[in-house]
Structure 1
Amino acid sequence: MLFCPNCSNLLLIENEGGQMFFCQSCPYQYAIQSRHTTRKLLHRKEVDDVLGGAKAWENVDSTEVTCPKCEHTKAYFMVIQIRSADEPSSIFYKCCNDECQHQWREG
């Protein structure tokens, strides 16, 4: 984005008769001589584990449910209310297979 040096409004691109930037508020125009690109990499912030991390799974019960990833027949589960009180609770599962440890949810 480029801004007008006279009135500080956002410059728009005009394609008719050659490409140029122009201001809608004042008569400023800037002819585009060459292609100009810049790239800014997005650095994502660290996200906290909303389920409480590995410690949250220490004292949970297991149930008979099939893991969608490895087909193991047992998984740990937690029931958490993540939406408003009038909505049903969500059930979070974690596969009991030590090699898989896949996590998924229902609801």
Structure 2
Amino acid sequence: MEFCPTCANMLLYELPYMERPARFYCPTCPYVCQIDSKVKIKRHMRVAKKPIDPIFSDKDQMPLNKTSGVSCPQCNHGEASFIQRQIRSADEPMTILYTCAGCKHTWAEN
């Protein structure tokens, strides 16, 4: 996409006509930009990998609240700690992540 340097409108493409080459033109002012027939294509681009930072740190994931009304689906222990996270969009309810106090199994409840 190209923009007019005079009035900042988006330039439109005009097909070649007779001996005139293809060009970009501004619909509001007389600016015209000729298109060069030579295009330089870069085939090899180096992508730099950046280190990925965790979204939640270990301290953020530490469940602090205890509940006794939930049983673990793996070991059937009657006590678990929980933490609430907004995983989906804001209009969806929060997800409750439970961690069993006995076997440390983690499961989610929507």
TM-score bucket of the superposed structures, by smaller chain: 0.3 to 0.5
TM-score of the two chains, using structure 2 as the length reference: 0.45
Which structure is larger by alpha-carbon Rg, 1 or 2? Answer: 2
TM-score of the two chains, using structure 1 as the length reference: 0.47
